[in-house]
Amino acid sequence: MPKGTACYSLTSKFGCTPEAGVGLLQAAEKAVQRVGLSFHVGSQTLDPSSYVDAIRIGGEIVKNSGVDLDVFDIGGGFPIPGLGMDIPPLSAFFDVIRAEIAKLNLPKTCEIWSEPGRALSGSCSTLVVRVELRKGDLLYLNDGTFGNMFEVFSGHWKNKAALIRPARRGRKAAGKVMAPFRFYGPTCDSIDYMEGPFLLPEDVCEGDWVALEGMGAYMAASQTHFNGFYSDQQVEIITDALSTRRTHMKAVK
């Protein structure tokens, strides 16, 4: 599907033209018991209207194929809030999707599927990393792009950063004046670098910790053991005794 407002486009590697989709559906109908069509508008989609074109194109493929569809899968792409972005509520996405699907002449038995992975898991985890060295506006951290910070490296958005300064005798509380910083990870590779800018107190120093929000979707999934750096330490925080919602914090030793 067209990239639209998605932060991550999947169009360069995956998919087919609408014309090819017609032939694929017709071929699938002859070979399988259940036939489905799926698409993806791209990850972290910022505008509900992206689903309008996608559903319309998908509907045209189904119509032109003459196949009675069993599954119409609208994929994922639903965004997580925050990260410095102006994002409509999920209800706005659902309203658009519901209205567009109603325009399609799908069989009553056709199932509508969705895959809201990032929207469900993205905001549940915060990554906490330690500042090992500071050089001007560069902070050298104990985790990086080969670890839990691949999406920070990608630069599609700026994760909200917060400073955590352990209370120790003789150490002052962090200042209130903020300044932009860049990050380096711990490995030997120079691409282990995150441009930012990440706003933190200007007096950030070695031994401080930095918390990065919105890391739940692909943080652990993209982690490697490159250069021997790896951590699987997780802390689970239940913020409301009456709620089943849990927040996970991953601290890199």
- Point out the residues that are catalytic: 188
* 8 A C-beta contact, residue 39 and residue 69: no
What is the C-alpha to C-alpha distance for residues 90 and 123, in angstroms, rounded to an integer? 14
